[in-house]
């Protein structure tokens, strides 16, 4: 039976160490300063997206390399109606039990 793992990384944290405290889970992107919540879309990342999610643009995790791995699906989190501004990414890793 397949086992799925999800991990999340935004542009302010490295992949090896994410210095965050999860104080609550939400169903949407939330501005932590204002408390405003935004309808959120979770979409597959495509090759066009990979051109903008680089270290030069502030992303500390190599999503391009992650995207190339055959056992991964990489998704982008965007505010609904604004798919070109990526708020964060997550990757789905599928492990198959032997």
Instruction: Tell me the pLDDT tens digit for each residue of 40-60.
Output: 999 999 889 988 888 888 887
The whole-angstrom separation of Cα 96 and Cα 86 is 30
User: Is 89 buried (19+), middle (13-18) or exposed (0-12) by CB count in 10 A?
Assistant: buried
Task: Return phi, psi of residue 33, to 5°.
Answer: -80, -50
Give the pLDDT score at 15: 47
Between 9 and 51, name the one with better pLDDT.
Answer: 51
Give the pLDDT score at 80: 93
Average pLDDT, the chain: 76
């Amino acid at each position: 039976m397949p086992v799925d793992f999800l991990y999340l990384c935004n542009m302010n944290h490295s992949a090896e160490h994410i210095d965050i405290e999860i104080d609550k889970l939400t169903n949407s992107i939330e501005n932590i300063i204002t408390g405003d919540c935004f309808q959120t879309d979770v979409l597959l990342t495509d090759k066009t997206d990979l051109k903008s999610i680089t270290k030069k643009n502030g992303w500390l995790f190599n999503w391009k390399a992650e995207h190339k791995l055959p056992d991964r699906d990489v998704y982008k989190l965007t505010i609904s109606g604004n798919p070109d501004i990526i708020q964060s990414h997550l990757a789905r890793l599928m492990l198959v039990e032997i």
